[in-house]
Chain A
Amino acid sequence: MIYLKDIRKSFNQQPVLKGINLKVGKGEVVAILGPSGSGKTTLLRCLNFLDKPDEGIVQVGDVQVKTKKATKREILSLRRQSAMVFQHYNLFAHKTVLENVMEGLIVTKKYKKTDAKRESELMLKKVGLEDKHHHYPSQLSGGQQQRVGIARALALNPQVILFDEPTSALDPELVGEVLSVIKTIAQEGITMVIVTHEMSFAREVSDRVLFMDGGVIVEEGSPLEIFNAPKEERTRQFLNRISRDIPIPYLEEKAN
């Protein structure tokens, strides 16, 4: 479903991705972990050319793009293989919730308005926002906005959905509603790549975990392998640091 070969990307001569190779199978849910600045978001954005890789081959679905020879048309058809859920939601501010979800169906999938509306209503029901059709994004909470973002991505019925830290900008009490929506759609067999800092979520939802640091994939494996028995020192350090930041077991002990 996804095939990356030797993806390299620099910003101002500062290498951010140093040769990423990756294959993701159909229906697989892949979580990408790593410290900030490790290139995980850039990798995700290279998948739909929001950041154009300097070198390498990107394939999503059956569209393959060789970075150096990429034409506008190729990039457009690559982008139409995937949909993205953004950290800061990026809902179309001047469109209502329903219009946000309909937009892609009408413009890029050439649906008739009534069909797009029916499909969008279905998607909004799925994310639990059937009562917010005519609200503008500015009238919604962060969690609700992000669920609209998910509905917008889902409506396109893409080959892959890319999640870029979908809960990082949310208030802690709103994280749960968004994660539970993502879990539901993960169970439907859609291929997903998720960049996240929610360790327990990554462990629960993903089939495979990638740990990135310094622009390379340091380690990959099943959630069980990565979280319980990381092989690489850097992975261990990272997981230790994270668990020290959120000492949940400690708190639980204390509460008991």
Chain B
Amino acid sequence: MTIDILFIWTAFKEILKALPTTLFLTILPLFAGFLIGLAVALIRIYKVKYLSGVANGYVSFFRGTPIIMHIMLIYFGLPLLIDQISAKFDWGFQSNSIPISLFVLTALSLSAGAYLSEIFRSGIISVSNGQMEAAYSIGMNTFQAMTRIVLPQAMAQSIPNFTNIFIGFLHTSSIAFIVSQKEITGAANIVASTNLKFLESFIAAGFIYWGLTIMAEGLSFFIEKKATAYNRGGLQ
């Protein structure tokens, strides 16, 4: 077997068409996970009655099992559940009318929420207690102190960790191809098997992931520099 260098470029162009799907499967779960993660982190920090137990279990399970498992469980389990409930209440609703991508998005969002909640939690804890006390001392309530003083600092400090998660989920979105989502890896697989040029196709896909990651790192570095300027002794 020889390698067809030129075909890498052909495959690259073909696979790139799947980029929107990959970005969609990365950014949407991270956005949902951001909200879930923030809520879960706050619930755990403030030890909210009843909810904190649920939150602990959620984080433990989703961080303790592989993401591919979440996709499988939700892809096979959720339709079963929906159909049972639907039949019981006579809704006449069939789970196969739900697009597959919705299951994938749900699974990835729940995983992202678990990982991001730990990042938020560490970010919030890293802000010194004195900041909260100072906010209280000038008459702020807990919500104001959290949103105006603690969270902005926690977020700024968490940027490198967010980038890690973003990169992780960008690459993890590739496993959506096992439930036949045509994202970058899925597309590479199709190009590879229709042209019988496996190595070239996956090299092309590799370059796309790598390029995206480098761009994400650059952007993160830039945002981090802006967001934590206050800590570096440099002027705005």
A108 CB within 8 Å of chain B = yes
> Which stretch from B59-67, B76-84, B133-141 is at the chain A interface?
B133-141
- CB within 8 Å of A: which B114-148 residues: 128, 130-131, 133-141, 144, 148
In contact, A103 and B130 (Cβ under 8 angstroms): no
* Distance, CA A48 to CA B132, complexed state (A): 13
A136 CB within 8 Å of chain B = yes
B236 CB within 8 Å of chain A = yes
Chain B at the A interface: mostly helix, strand, loop or mixed?
helix
From A48, A93, A137, give the contact of B137 (CB < 8 A). A48
Number of residue pairs A-B, CB distance < 8 angstroms: 80
B156 CB within 8 Å of chain A = yes
Min CB distance, B105 to chain A, in Å? 33
In contact, A94 and B230 (Cβ under 8 angstroms): yes
In contact, B138 and A139 (Cβ under 8 angstroms): no
Specify which of A93, A94, A153 lies most central, judged by the most chain B CB atoms within 10 Å of its CB. Answer: A94
B199 CB within 8 Å of chain A = no
A138 CB within 8 Å of chain B = yes
In contact, B230 and A108 (Cβ under 8 angstroms): no
* Distance, CA A229 to CA B231, complexed state (A): 49
Specify which of B141, B144, B153, B232 lies most central, judged by the most chain A CB atoms within 10 Å of its CB. Answer: B141
- CB within 8 Å of B: which A80-136 residues: 80, 82-84, 86, 88, 90-96, 103-104, 107-108, 134-136
- CB within 8 Å of B: which A190-246 residues: none
Residues of A within 8 A of B144 (CB): 107-108
Q: How large is the interface on B (under 10, 10 to 19, 20 to 34, 35 or more residues)?
A: 20 to 34
Known A-B contacts A86-B130, A90-B130, A107-B144; A79 and B153 likewise in contact (beta carbons under 8 Å): no
Residues of B within 8 A of A136 (CB): 229-231, 233
Residues of A within 8 A of B156 (CB): 94
Residues of B within 8 A of A49 (CB): 136
B3 CB within 8 Å of chain A = no
B235 CB within 8 Å of chain A = yes
In contact, A139 and B233 (Cβ under 8 angstroms): yes
Residues of B within 8 A of A108 (CB): 138-140, 144
Min CB distance, B114 to chain A, in Å? 27
Min CB distance, A58 to chain B, in Å? 15
Q: 11 A-B contacts, Cβ less than 8 Å apart?
A: A50-B133, A86-B134, A90-B128, A90-B130, A92-B134, A93-B153, A104-B138, A104-B139, A107-B140, A136-B233, A138-B233
